[in-house]
Amino acid sequence: MAPGKVSKICCIGAGYVGGPTCAVIALKCPHITVTIVDVNQSRIDAWNDKDFKLPIYEPGLEDVVRGCRGRNLFFSTDVDKGIQEADLIFVSVNTPTKKSGVGAGFAADLNYVELATRRIAAVANSSKIVVEKSTVPCRTAESMRTILESNSKPNCRFDILSNPEFLAEGTAIGDLFKPDRVLIGSLQTPEGKAACDALTEVYANWVSKDRILTVGLWSSELSKLAANAMLAQRISSVNALSAICEATGANIDEVAHAVGFDSRVGPKFLKASVGFGGSCFQKDILNLVYLSESLHLPEVAAYWRQVVEMNEYQKRRFSKTVVDTLFNTITGKHIAVLGFAFKADTGDTRESASITLIRDFLNERANIKIYDPQVPHEQIWFDLAEACPNLPLESIKKSVTICPSALDACNQADALVIATEWKEFKEIDWEAVYTNMNKPAFVFDGRLILDVEKLKKIGFKVTVIGRGNVM
């Protein structure tokens, strides 16, 4: 590979980060061949689907893949071939929170990162730039370098970079087209800086160089955790304030709007809700908690742990509000849950607030009807089975129905819960919903998206998160 020139890229991992990111690189860099590899045959088959029924729902993604698949963008299960032919390799595999062993419940499980690293060392027969794309604990690159250097073939050199993603699901393609920043971390050696320059030139095909930040390797790794932790902290802060609003009669939307006008604070991530979800926030904060404890910083760990605890409290508080409002019991009652994805414009359900709410409703022996426009039914059943390990799936299915539309879910329901902010939920035929619900008809807005006065005029009893009834 000529210094500063990348002609072939391989991405190990065809998930929510690797797939969209490298598809955009292929679109913006037609002179670079991009191959995305994964051992999951069904996932690769979906990326190669002739009708473009991709494994990930993300607005704009299909157009990107249509623009370059088969030209300079390829999806394959031949991991070894992808590694051998690439100049630069993104490692974009899953790093879930450990479920057992040391650090269970907090530390990141780096098994897939290590397996990918060992695979690179085993099959690479030329020098490579290896890029951490997965969210990893600080100094993971050091472990990767040790594995690569201990197992590499003669005359094979590996330079490691950190290039964390800062994508928001639902807007990922727009984020990739016009990123706030691209962060690249490297060792501050001549070789490390040269590798950093090579990746910088890839992004510079469409990103202004003043948006490409180059920092030290460890700073880059920690920056991703820090960014997500501080965003989640804002959400937990406004959700904590929403509880005070409900107790005092204040309106959380008005409070957040006023606070957001302060230029030192700004308006983003000040929207109260039933709780944050997704693959990043909770996992990354717990990772930060574990890192702090490992570094013997218990006060720091306790500080960040409280962000997650507040998020769990918000979900519990909301489900309790539903029970309390429905005359202190929902046993045998029908609850419509609109939305199962953790946020609108994505099919991702990881850490979705809906899962917690439905689990709580099942524990109260309610009947639940679910509608979400994008989440596959099999994913809903999988998530509920995992959330309720003491209930056989057959028992869950006796109490839960997945519906084809919002109107179907609301039919004969005692209460309706807005759990995801899908645009279509604002535009429902609310007159028809009211006609077909049991009376009194209760609506619980966990996402602050409904026209409350309109619903009250129709006849609904409306409860909105962060708004109190105290005069």
Tell me the pLDDT tens digit for each residue of 347-374: 999 999 999 999 999 999 999 999 999 9
Q: Is residue 64 part of a domain?
A: yes
Q: Is residue 1 part of a domain?
A: no
Q: Residue 279: which pLDDT band, with cuts at 50, 70 and 90?
A: confident
Mean pLDDT value across the chain: 95
In this prediction, residues 400-416 reach a mean pLDDT of: 98
CATH number of the domain bearing residue 139: 3.40.50.720
Q: Is residue 180 part of a domain?
A: yes
Residues 223 and 196 in one domain: no
Q: Is residue 214 part of a domain?
A: no
- Select from 167, 187, 207 the last residue of a domain: 207
Phi, psi of 421 (to 5 degrees): -90, 45
Residues 224 and 152 in one domain: no
Residues 152 and 295 in one domain: no
Q: Residue 3: which pLDDT band, with cuts at 50, 70 and 90?
A: very low
pLDDT for the residue numbered 237: 97
Distance CA(80)–CA(66), nearest Å, equals 26
Residues 280 and 338 in one domain: yes
In this prediction, residues 77-83 reach a mean pLDDT of: 97
Task: Tell me the two tokens of residue 297.
Answer: 């910083």
Distance CA(134)–CA(109), nearest Å, equals 11
130 is in an annotated binding site: no
Give the ranges where 48-125 is alpha helix by DSSP (H): 61-68, 79-85, 111-123
Residues 256 and 185 in one domain: no
b/e 334-373 (16+ beta carbons within 10 angstroms → b)? bbbbbbbbbbbbbbbbbbbbbbbbbbbbbebebbbbbbbb
Three-state DSSP state, 31: coil
Write out the H or E segment, with its range, that includes residue 160.
strand 158-162
Q: Is residue 2 part of a domain?
A: no
DSSP code at position 345: T
- Select from 207, 233, 268 the last residue of a domain: 207
Q: Is residue 212 part of a domain?
A: no
39 is in an annotated binding site: no
Pick from 254, 247, 399: nearest CA to 321: 247
Residues 146 and 77 in one domain: yes
Distance CA(319)–CA(331), nearest Å, equals 13
Q: Is residue 120 part of a domain?
A: yes
Residues 315 and 178 in one domain: no
Distance CA(163)–CA(332), nearest Å, equals 51
In this prediction, residues 193-204 reach a mean pLDDT of: 97
pLDDT for the residue numbered 344: 96
Q: Is 280 known to be catalytic? A: yes
Residues 116 and 152 in one domain: yes
- Select from 181, 207, 233 the last residue of a domain: 207
Residues 328 and 294 in one domain: yes
Residues 320 and 454 in one domain: yes
Residues 61 and 198 in one domain: yes
Q: Is the pLDDT of residue 1 over 60?
A: no
116 is in an annotated binding site: no
Domain count, the chain: 2
pLDDT for the residue numbered 4: 55
Residues 187 and 296 in one domain: no
Three-state DSSP state, 139: coil
226 is in an annotated binding site: yes
Question: Are 384 and 400 spatial neighbours (Cβ–Cβ below 8 Å)?
Answer: yes
In this prediction, residues 449-457 reach a mean pLDDT of: 96
From the list 22, 68, 245, 280, the catalytic residue is: 280
In this prediction, residues 271-286 reach a mean pLDDT of: 93
Domain encompassing residue 348:
219-471
Task: Tell me the two tokens of residue 86.
Answer: 């690439």
- Half-sphere exposure for 305 (CA within 13 Å, toward CB): 14
Strand order in the sheet with 33-37: 73-76, 33-37, 8-12, 88-91, 128-132, 158-162, 182-186, 212-216
185 is in an annotated binding site: no
pLDDT for the residue numbered 318: 97
Q: 135-139, 397-401, 448-452, 453-457: which has the minimum mean pLDDT?
A: 135-139
Q: Is residue 264 part of a domain?
A: yes
